[in-house]
Each structure stands twice: as structure tokens, then as C-alpha cells.
Amino acid sequence: MSKTTLVALAALAAPAAPATALAQHPLRHPADAVEIQFARSQPVAHYTLRVDTVDLSAFAVELRLRNVPDTFRLAMVAHPEYDDRYWRYVEDLRVAAAGGPGAVTRADSALWQVVAPGGEAVVRYRIRLPAAESPRAAWRPFLAATGGLVGGPHSFMYVVGATLAPAHVTLELPSTWEAVTGLEPTADPRTFFAPSAAVLVDSPMLVGQLRSWRFAVDGVPHRVVYWPLPGAAAFDTTALVSAIERLARGAVALFGRAPYRDYSFLLQDGAYGALEHRNSVTLGAPSTELASDRRSLLAEIAHEYFHTWNLMRIHPAEYGDVDYRPPPRTRGLWWSEGLTMLYADLLLRRAGLGAFDSTRVAHLEGLMGRYFGSPGNSRFSPESVSVIAYGTAPGALGDYSASTHLQGELLGAMLDLIVRDATNGARSIDDVMRAMLERFSGERGFGGRDVERTVAHVCGCTVRPFFEAHVRGSQAIDFDRYLRLIGMRARVSWTPALDRDGRPAADLRVSAWQPPGENALSLLISNPASVWGRAGLHSGDRLVAVNGAAVPSGEEFRGLRNRLKNGDTVTVEVRRATGPWRTSVVVAGYERPVVRLEEISAATERQRALRAQWIAGSPR
Ligand SMILES: [Zn+2]
């Protein structure tokens, strides 16, 4: 749909839309207003999702609709961060109607027009799963002989304009499989209830032969579920579940109560990554990692679980109701991701679960080292890095890279010091987080100035210059200014980067990715001061040859790069708008920053007391 059509529809629809329906159903896209009729006369939906082990390359979905008009639209939801565009895998879509022949035609990539006279319709389709990836992303659907992941935006179409319509979902699974999901249970163990389309697509279903454990926090049930690969490594399940329980207790204690009816940790063997949902998390948890060192998995679990509050409840204003069109990019991810990083570390410490860094001081030193090590972090404002963090092609920052997670965690750490200092230790970032929940977990999400106002309210101080300089602006964080509040300062030294064996590491700060629909790889330079940047290469250069030979895939490029040693000379031929270009890169070592925080000589008693409080990191 063109922008002008949207504007025209908005002008037409706004005065006519009924106030009560609008209040419950935020109209992010005015085109939906023309279908507001559904708010008064909701369709009733019943989905049946069928898995047949005879063919694990697809699953079937049947959608029975009652109370629908003769013509309506179906769509698949675009996830704001992980839009996997599963509309590409819809097959055999057809409709049967109560009052005559039905018809379904594609109106746009993720949108279908359905004609089904008689008020009732049965829509059937299959999702043909794309070729298995290795390793597998934990949030994408898959099917294997002993289980899989189904549901979510990858499986279910919704009726456009009727996102508040309730639905039941029945699973038809092999007899030895069970199903765990955040959806509400019903009397039938294979049928679940979703009060809205948003809940339906945000509640993936882990199915199969599962191991599961339970615990309660203040009477609220929590489940930890594990789908093992055949021959999975044995690990200490009691220790894992008890660690997760301690994390959950810490987060619930911070906010005072759990914001959900029940919670499911959906852990999967043989997968990587994770995705937060309103009362569940899908998370890759290889058994080999659980058996050897589960610290990084616990950090990831803490992060995703904290998103239950910070992102799912405290949400950026741009993230509204479900839609088949991707939502506008948000400037607030530095808060949603960065503060979630800060709390993942803090929750692990509060639960006594051995964070990576021995102390909060060491943790901050490590973060600051990474911040200085990649100049993009202090060159681009956190708001602008938020905007390109998800769904943007790599290389948006030219020959730099920046992390919204890292920028946000450091901003959160500095704001914590500001609040502690301004309130003489009576308040901390915990109070800011609780105030954010109070203000922005309803229909209204937070916008650009809202975090600033909330911090200012909690500390009773002025933080506008901080936000102007370091959040909206791109001034490097002046750490010493805020560290002084707790009687500390940073000493930054540059030392040769070392490899695992303690020898000077080669500068491999270059990568390549495959732009869709092109045959050449595109280079990514993350630091113009790297040997690659200094040799004249730029992000976006199309790779023609390395040492005279074509490089067909990103994987081959990585292999080639990782075999390079200091002193090697590499000839790189590229293509750019100005024509072909070649250069020679001499691989060499490089320096990285090491940050040490130390006490300033004139530290006062008050500063020392604030520091001790901050280091303890205990809840307030
Ligand atoms: Zn996250």
C-alpha cells in the first residue's frame, strides 16, 4: 500500500472510528480502521495444527472461522525484530465456505483476500519448512523425529482488523509427544486458548518427547522444559533448574510480582540464540554446553527472562499490536537491550550464580574496553544505533560497527551512578526500572524523551545534558565524570591483542556477507584503523577475488581469513561504483584497550560509601 493511500485512509477513518474500540485496539496503521467493524462483531477462530511424522518437512494448519463477513483478509504477522517472513513457505492455501464456493487470492506478500459467503469459513494451508540450518536458530520452527517447535508468527494467519478475536488451538501430534506453550491450557490437554492474535503469535509451542521440571515463585507456576537430541550429553538438571529458579525469584522480587499467569522456559538442544515472549522464552541450550560450562547459557536465560519486563511490558512506543507490515524502527533499543544486559549481569550476581567477571568493577572495565576498542560505539548516537540494530542490512554504519546492547548497558551503568549520587544512595537504577514499568507497560510505550523524564523524576535531578550528549547525541561517554561520583576514575592503556596462546593476534577485523540476489560477497569493515581499512577497503565493496581466486561463500571467506598469520600478504580485488579496485593487505598485530578503574586520591567518605553500595549491587 502506498504512503498516500495510508494518509488518505487516515483522514477518512479517524473521525468515524468508535472511541471504545479504538481505546482497546491501537490503530498503528490507519488502514485497519476500515475493518473496525470486527471490534463490534468479532470472528471466532479455531486453529488445528497437525504434525505427521511421515512427512517432517511440513505441517498442516486448519483455521475454522465463524462470524466472518463474506469477504475478509488474512495475514501473517511481521515480528518487529525477527521477521522470518514465513509467508514464503505457505502452500496449498484453500478455503471452503458455508454458503457457496469460496476463493482465496494473494493481495500482497503476507496478505490474502478471502471470499467466503455464509459467515463461516474453513481455511487450510501447509507450512513447508525451509531447509534445516546448522546450527538451528532456537526461535524458528523445526520438526524432527522426537519433537519440534511450531506455532508463533511462523504458523498462524490472523484475520486483519480482528486482532482482538479470541482463538483456540488444537494440536494433532504423534501419540508420544506432548506440548508446552505459554498459551492458556483448557480441559483438553491438546487444546489451548489465546485471548488475542498478539498472544497467539507470541506463544510458540515446543512439542515432542520433553523433559520438564516445575517450581513456583509466590505461587506463580514456572516450567523448565528441555527437548534433548538423541544421545544428548548428561548434565546436572537439578543445578540448572535451581539456578533458573533463583534468577526468577530475583527478577520477581525487583518488580514486586510476576506479570504473567505462568511461565515456560523452552530449552532446546542443538540450537543457538533465543527469543523473548510475554510468558515464555525459546532458547538454544546445547546439552554439551550444559554439561561443561553453563555460565553463558545462564547469562542468556537471565537476559531473555528480564525481557519479560523490559521489552515485552516496558515497550518502545513503536511496538504496538500485531501487524503484517514491519513496525517502524525504534530509537529505544539501547534501553530495551542495554538495560536488559545490565540486569542479566545483576540478576546472576544477586542470585549468587557466578557471573563472568568476578566483580562489578571488573565487569565495567570489560565493557569499557569493548566500547573503546570499536570506535563506532562512540561515533554514533545510541538512538541511531538502535534504529539500525535489527532488520537493517550489515554495513549501515560504513566502516564502523557499534553495539546497541553495549552502548545501552554502559549508559544504564552511568545513569545508576547519577541516581545514586543525586539521592545520596537512597535510590538506584532499580527505582528507574520500576518507574518505567509503572509508566510504559500498558498501551502506551516509551518514546525518545520518556526515559529521560523517568530518570529525572526518580533522581530529582537534571539529566537532559546527559541524554542530549550521549543518547540522542554522539558524544563519547565521559566515564570519569560519572565514575568520580563513586570516587573512581578509568585508566586506559593500549596493549597488543593476544591470541589464545598468548602470542600477538592477527588483525582479522574484516568480514563478508552475501547480499540477497547478488553473486558477490559484500565486505564489512568494523574499524577503519584495522589493517583492512588502512589498505583502502570499505564496507560495501563487492569481493571479486582474494589472492587471485574467487570466494564463493561467506563461510569460505571466514575460513580463509581465519588461517591468516601475521606477516602474510593478501591481495584483495573488489568492485565498487567507481570500478574495479585492488589492494594488498599485510596482516599484522593490533592493539586493544585495557581499562582499569582506580580510586581517585581525594575520594570522600560519601563517594566511598556510594561505591560500596554500587559494588554490592544488592536490590533496593
Ligand atoms: Zn535482548
Residue 91's DSSP bridge partners are 126
Q: Do domains 44-306 and 510-589 have the same CATH topology?
A: no
pLDDT at position 158 over 80: yes
Q: Could you tell me the distance, in angstroms and rounded to a whole number, from the CA of residue 306 to the centre of ligand 1?
A: 9
pLDDT of 38: 52
> Do 267 and 224 meet the contact criterion of CB atoms below 8 Å apart?
yes
Q: Could you tell me the distance, in angstroms and rounded to a whole number, from the CA of residue 366 to the centre of ligand 1?
A: 19
Q: Could you tell me the distance, in angstroms and rounded to a whole number, from the CA of residue 276 to the centre of ligand 1?
A: 8
Q: Could you tell me the distance, in angstroms and rounded to a whole number, from the CA of residue 311 to the centre of ligand 1?
A: 8
pLDDT at position 17 over 50: no
Q: Could you tell me the distance, in angstroms and rounded to a whole number, from the CA of residue 303 to the centre of ligand 1?
A: 6
For 429-466, the DSSP string reads HHHHHHHHHHHHSSS--B-TTHHHHHHHHHHTS--HHH
Measured distance CA(542)–CA(485) in Å, rounded = 48
Residues in CB range of 81: below 8 A, 6 or more apart: 390, 391
Region 446-469 average pLDDT: 97
**Low-confidence winner among 37-46, 291-300, 459-468 (lowest mean pLDDT):** 37-46
pLDDT digits (tens, 9 = 90+) for 396-448: 999 999 999 999 999 999 999 999 999 999 999 999 999 999 999 988 999 98
Q: State the CATH class of domain 510-589.
A: mainly beta
pLDDT of 15: 28
- Which comes out higher in pLDDT, residue 82 or 312? 312
pLDDT of 19: 30
Residue 115 dihedral angles phi and psi, to the nearest 5°: -110, 120
For 76-89, the DSSP string reads EPPPSS----GGGG
pLDDT at position 459 over 90: yes
Q: Could you tell me the distance, in angstroms and rounded to a whole number, from the CA of residue 108 to the centre of ligand 1?
A: 31
Region 506-524 average pLDDT: 95
Q: Could you tell me the distance, in angstroms and rounded to a whole number, from the CA of residue 409 to the centre of ligand 1?
A: 12
Region 21-48 average pLDDT: 56
Please report, for residues 316, 346, 410, the alpha-carbon distance to residue 426 in angstroms, rounded to integers and kept in the order given: 28, 18, 21
pLDDT of 40: 57
Query: What are the residue boundaries of the structural domains of the chain, listed by start?
Result: 3-40, 44-306, 333-490+601-616, 510-589
Sign, CA torsion 315/320/326/329:
negative
Q: Could you tell me the distance, in angstroms and rounded to a whole number, from the CA of residue 578 to the centre of ligand 1?
A: 39
Q: Could you tell me the distance, in angstroms and rounded to a whole number, from the CA of residue 11 to the centre of ligand 1?
A: 37
Q: Which of 126, 177, 188 is nearest to 149 (CA)?
A: 177
pLDDT at position 587 over 70: yes
pLDDT of 2: 27
Region 469-479 average pLDDT: 97
Q: Is 270 exposed, middle or buried (0-12, 13-18, 19+ CB in 10 A)?
A: buried
Region 300-304 average pLDDT: 97
**Low-confidence winner among 350-359, 404-413, 467-476, 583-592 (lowest mean pLDDT):** 350-359
pLDDT of 13: 28
- Which comes out higher in pLDDT, residue 4 or 444? 444
Residue 48's DSSP bridge partners are 62, 170
Q: Could you tell me the distance, in angstroms and rounded to a whole number, from the CA of residue 49 to the centre of ligand 1?
A: 29
Q: Could you tell me the distance, in angstroms and rounded to a whole number, from the CA of residue 271 to the centre of ligand 1?
A: 17
Residue 570's DSSP bridge partners are 585
pLDDT of 31: 44
Q: Could you tell me the distance, in angstroms and rounded to a whole number, from the CA of residue 538 to the centre of ligand 1?
A: 29
Query: What CATH number belongs to 44-306?
Result: 2.60.40.3650
Measured distance CA(28)–CA(24) in Å, rounded = 12
Average of per-residue pLDDT values in the chain: 92
pLDDT digits (tens, 9 = 90+) for 311-353: 999 999 988 889 999 888 999 999 999 999 999 999 999 999 9
Region 101-127 average pLDDT: 96
Q: Could you tell me the distance, in angstroms and rounded to a whole number, from the CA of residue 385 to the centre of ligand 1?
A: 15
- Which comes out higher in pLDDT, residue 265 or 16? 265
Q: Could you tell me the distance, in angstroms and rounded to a whole number, from the CA of residue 301 to the centre of ligand 1?
A: 10
pLDDT of 29: 43
pLDDT digits (tens, 9 = 90+) for 186-227: 999 999 999 999 999 999 999 999 999 999 999 999 999 999
Question: 411 in the Ramachandran plot: left (φ > 0), alpha (ψ -120 to 50) or beta?
Answer: alpha
pLDDT at position 49 over 70: yes
pLDDT digits (tens, 9 = 90+) for 237-282: 999 999 999 999 999 999 999 999 999 999 999 999 999 999 999 9
pLDDT band of residue 134 (cuts 50, 70, 90) is: confident
pLDDT of 357: 83
Q: Could you tell me the distance, in angstroms and rounded to a whole number, from the CA of residue 74 to the centre of ligand 1?
A: 30
Q: Could you tell me the distance, in angstroms and rounded to a whole number, from the CA of residue 340 to the centre of ligand 1?
A: 7
- Residue that is written with C-alpha cell 567477571 in the block: 357
- The amino acid sitting at 351 is A
pLDDT of 611: 97
